[in-house]
Structure 1
């Protein structure tokens, strides 16, 4: 019973191995080699993929399936030496078909050891991945073209669904990137033009601001000089106001002196009238004395010798009376003339008083006006000081604005330069002038199973490492 069960198990294992071998043989390309690379046999899938018959490959070396430069490389010799030493090698490899085309396979080279542990043959199990490989190479070509700035590039979609999905995603990304870069190109151009306009306007504004700052600086200096002049004028007006006030006071004092002089002249006139009265009385006394002397002389003449002395005295008295009358007349005439002159002096002094009154009024008016002028000059000086301070502050602000405008001009020039640089960078991308072409429709998929020899050689990479074997 035990041995039957064991035998049944061994039989089941043999059946499983046969099933697996049949599955591999029906789905994979299988070929067997001697350890040195000589072909022992290949299944139908392998023969169909490379276009050979069994008789054409049996006994020949594996090198018939690779490019001559690969077959002659030291790496290729090492590849077979490692297999002969029992080391497995798995990867993707390019293989040349009978008609010269190149296909890609995903293969595993597995050494088969004998009872003594040495490698007796090498079995390769492979799958044709040309469609996948070329689909990836097509996407790589698109990426390379895009890296060179060609945004109009579109890839052909592979027959392999996952690679086709990747290609479609690439096409959509390229289309969106083309649209975005196109928009960026337009915007960068607009930004460049705007930056140039801003730079030009900033330059003009900078020049105008500098001119304005210079003019304002000159204005500030002129206002400062004007302020100093007005201050000096205000001080002068104040001094003139003091002088006019003193003149007014002196004129008022002169008016009072004139009034006193008029009063004194009036008193002199009154005194002259009194003196005239007294002189008149003296004249009357002299006249009466003269009459008395005349009468005395008459009486002395009547007395004869007894009255002779008295006659002499009477004659002398008469002479004195006549001289007194003459002197009194002269004095009266002089007093009359003095009275007229005093009257004229009183009139002149009165007129002088009136003129002084008018002068005092005029001086008062002048004093009032000069006071107003002095007050206005002080106010103007104060206002000009404030204006001068404001202009100085405005000058400082203008100078700061001028500096800011220069910085803005420099920034706008930098912006213009950056916009130009952006435009130059964006111009490296081609195919952004219009709408991006639509992705390749599924109906236009081209099969890559049997590419031509020349095109395959152009699109396949050069031999690199073990994967080229």
Structure 2
């Protein structure tokens, strides 16, 4: 504290006040005004900062240090009225030097009151903050350029260490942002191209999926029709299998009948042979009877008239024997022919039986094959039913896939549109085309690339100065 205690002696207080006043006079720019703003005096620091001598400013109004538009404003007039009423102002203010250059000061305007409490003078204590202000304006210029999309902007570093540190941070941030936006630009372009490729591929896939779905639907209909046909064929095969089985049974019965016929023919042939033997015996009896009748006739002829009747009987017996022999010959002939015909019939019936047996075997083979065909048709019908069910499910899945592909196509189109929007937004930033990740340049390089500082903004009001800070 500048003052040790309230109980300090008046002499000590005066000495402390003189020390403080001397320190302020050496380090600050001070100026003394009348309550209306007329200049009474100023110290060397103020005169050096403004470029005037004391004779050039004494008796003149404070408005000589401000821009004409500010001096004519109601705000400036209210400023001095408030000071005359005892109000204190502390802020940064723009002031115009003798050379017409605008400088900035950090100042406090403080009224000095008399014994009656009225304001008799106004004291201003100020510090030149032009370098700091311009450094901040340079950073503000860089931020404004960056807000307009210029990422290649770099700011000139201030002579003030803290402002210079802020400028360095700005330059590093701009460098990193330029690198990042450059990378985003490249990635955005790549994403845009990829999104276009995906959109085209998705569109082609959508068309192919729709075509596949249509083809699969037709295939499902064809397989369903084929399944119905195979079911009908299986049912027909079962019916044919039953008919062939019945035919086989009938053929087997016919085979047994033919076998019985062959056996009957064989018996007839045997009987014919027995009859032939009996007829042969009758023929022999007739032959012997004829011989006996002939002998009887010879003996009757020897007997003369006595044997005449006997000769007639012998003649009749001979005639009967001859007729019996003739009849036996005819019967023998007929039996011989009948035997030949029976033998031929037996042969034909045997051959018929053999053929019928072959037919039975063939029918059995056909029945076996038809049974296999019927079984295979049933299995094919079952397999086709499963295939039909699988194709139906595949058709449903394909339809769902087609819908999903359509959604993916729409999403890829949206991605392409969003990528285009991103590219357009990124293209608003300039200076990013050649950006590539690299180490931050040195301070000398930044200073070399840095544009010339913008001219100071003259004529800013005290209120505008407060808005900037």
Residues 168 and 113 of structure 1, relative CA distance in 2, 3 Å threshold: same
Residues 355 and 9 of structure 1, relative CA distance in 2, 3 Å threshold: same
- 1:441 aligned to 2:444? yes
Residues 435 and 405 of structure 1, relative CA distance in 2, 3 Å threshold: closer
CA distance in 2: counterparts of 1:58 and 1:461, whole angstroms: 25
Alignment of 1:118-157 (within 5 A): 118-157=118-157
Residues 466 and 181 of structure 1, relative CA distance in 2, 3 Å threshold: closer
**How far 1:408 moved relative to its partner?**
2.2
**How far 1:246 moved relative to its partner?**
2.0
- 1:199 aligned to 2:199? yes
Q: Work out whether residues 136 and 163 of structure 2, in 8 Å CA contact, stay in contact via their aligned partners in 1.
A: yes
Runs (5+) with no aligned partner, structure 1? 1-5, 446-450
Matched residue SS, 1:431: coil
Matched residue SS, 1:120: strand
Matched residue SS, 2:162: helix
Q: Which residue does the alignment assign to 2:3?
A: none
CA distance in 1: counterparts of 2:33 and 2:56, whole angstroms: 14
**How far 1:29 moved relative to its partner?**
1.3
Residues 94 and 67 of structure 1, relative CA distance in 2, 3 Å threshold: same
Q: Which residue does the alignment assign to 2:98?
A: 98
**How far 1:457 moved relative to its partner?**
3.3
Report how many residues are paired: 455
**How far 1:265 moved relative to its partner?**
0.9
CA distance in 2: counterparts of 1:245 and 1:213, whole angstroms: 47
Alignment of 1:392-403 (within 5 A): 392-403=392-403
Alignment of 1:215-230 (within 5 A): 215-230=215-230
Q: Which residue does the alignment assign to 1:419?
A: 419
- 1:404 aligned to 2:404? yes
Alignment of 1:51-200 (within 5 A): 51-200=51-200
- Greater shift in the superposed pair: 109-118 or 241-250: 241-250
Q: Which residue does the alignment assign to 2:359?
A: 359
CA distance in 2: counterparts of 1:243 and 1:85, whole angstroms: 133
Residues 247 and 141 of structure 1, relative CA distance in 2, 3 Å threshold: same
**How far 1:211 moved relative to its partner?**
2.3
Residues 441 and 185 of structure 1, relative CA distance in 2, 3 Å threshold: same
What is the TM-score of this pair, normalised by structure 1? 0.86
Alignment of 1:273-422 (within 5 A): 273-283=273-283, 326-422=326-422
- 1:28 aligned to 2:28? yes
Matched residue SS, 2:432: coil
CA distance in 1: counterparts of 2:302 and 2:461, whole angstroms: 197
**TM-align CA RMSD:** 3.4
